[in-house]
C-alpha cells in the first residue's frame, strides 16, 4: 500500500489523515480552506498519495469524526506508525494519551510523570512535533503560559480551548466575562 492520505468531512470542516503500511502517521485538522489542509499534509508527507483508506485508517477517521462532534472516543485500537518518532517523544505521547478526556495536565506534570523534571523544553518540542493531533491529544497539555487559545501546528484553525470544550472540559485559564459575573453573583448570594 505504501503511504496514503485522504481528506474527510467532520463537524468542524474537512480534515486530513496520512498513513503507511505500519499505521497512522499524521492527522491534519481543518484549515480555513480545504486546499490549505491538503498543502499542509503534502508538506509533511510528500510521498503520500491520495487513496482509499484501509480499515485502520477508517477506524481513526470514525473516531476523529466522533470526537469533533463532542463524543467520547477511545483511540487505543488505532495502530500508529511511530517509526520516525524519537523514543523520548514516544514516551511523552504515551503519557499524553493516558490523560483522561476533558482533563488537562501541565508540562511540568508530564515531566514529573516521566521522571525528567528538567525536560520542559524537550516536552514542548515533542508537542510541536506531534503529527497525530486528537489521537495523541496534545491539546490536553497546558503550555507554560497556559496558552489554551494557541494553535498547534496540525490543529489547523482549531484552538486547544475549542478541542477541550468539545470534551466538556472547563480550562483553568481565561474566565469569560459571563463566568466572572456569575462568580460575583454567587458570592453576593451567599
Give the percent of the chain with pLDDT over 90.
Answer: 53
| Active site positions, annotated | 138
Query: How far is it, in rounded angstroms, from Cα 188 to Cα 190?
Result: 5
88-121 pLDDT, tens digit per residue, is: 999 999 999 999 988 888 888 999 999 998 888 8
Query: How far is it, in rounded angstroms, from Cα 159 to Cα 138?
Result: 11
Helix (H) or strand (E) holding 142: strand 141-142
Of 51-60, 97-106, 129-138, 168-177, which one has max mean pLDDT? 51-60
Q: Which three cell numbers stand for residue 50?
A: 491520495
pLDDT value for 66: 94
Q: What is the mean pLDDT of residues 148-152?
A: 47
pTM beyond 0.85? no
The residues, ordered by sequence, that sit 6+ positions from 9 with a Cβ below 8 Å of its Cβ are 15, 65
Query: How far is it, in rounded angstroms, from Cα 170 to Cα 168?
Result: 7
Query: Which alpha helices (DSSP H) does 51-176 contain, by range?
Result: 55-67, 87-97, 107-113, 120-128, 160-166
Query: How far is it, in rounded angstroms, from Cα 147 to Cα 116?
Result: 22
Burial of residue 12, with CB atoms counted within 10 A of its CB: 0-12 exposed, 13-18 middle, 19 or more buried: middle
Higher pLDDT, residue 185 or 47: 47
Amino acid at each position: 500500500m505504501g503511504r496514503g492520505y485522504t481528506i474527510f468531512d467532520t463537524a468542524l470542516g474537512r480534515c486530513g489523515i496520512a498513513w503507511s503500511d505500519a499505521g497512522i502517521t499524521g492527522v491534519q485538522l481543518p484549515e480555513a480552506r480545504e486546499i490549505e489542509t491538503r498543502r499542509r499534509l503534502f508538506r509533511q508527507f510528500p510521498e503520500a498519495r491520495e487513496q482509499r483508506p484501509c480499515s485502520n485508517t477508517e477506524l481513526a477517521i470514525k473516531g476523529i469524526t466522533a470526537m469533533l462532534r463532542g463524543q467520547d472516543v477511545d483511540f487505543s485500537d488505532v495502530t500508529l506508525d511511530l517509526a520516525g518518532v524519537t523514543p523520548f517523544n514516544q514516551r511523552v505521547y504515551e503519557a499524553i494519551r493516558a490523560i483522561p478526556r476533558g482533563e488537562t495536565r501541565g508540562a511540568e506534570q508530564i515531566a514529573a510523570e516521566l521522571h525528567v523534571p528538567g525536560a520542559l523544553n524537550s516536552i514542548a518540542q515533542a508537542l510541536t512535533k506531534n503529527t497525530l493531533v486528537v489521537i495523541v491529544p496534545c491539546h490536553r497539555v497546558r503550555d507554560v503560559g497556559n496558552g489554551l487559545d494557541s494553535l498547534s501546528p496540525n490543529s489547523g484553525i482549531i484552538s486547544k480551548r475549542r478541542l477541550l470544550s468539545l470534551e466538556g472540559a472547563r480550562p483553568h485559564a481565561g474566565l469569560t466575562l459571563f463566568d466572572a459575573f456569575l462568580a460575583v453573583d454567587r458570592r453576593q448570594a451567599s
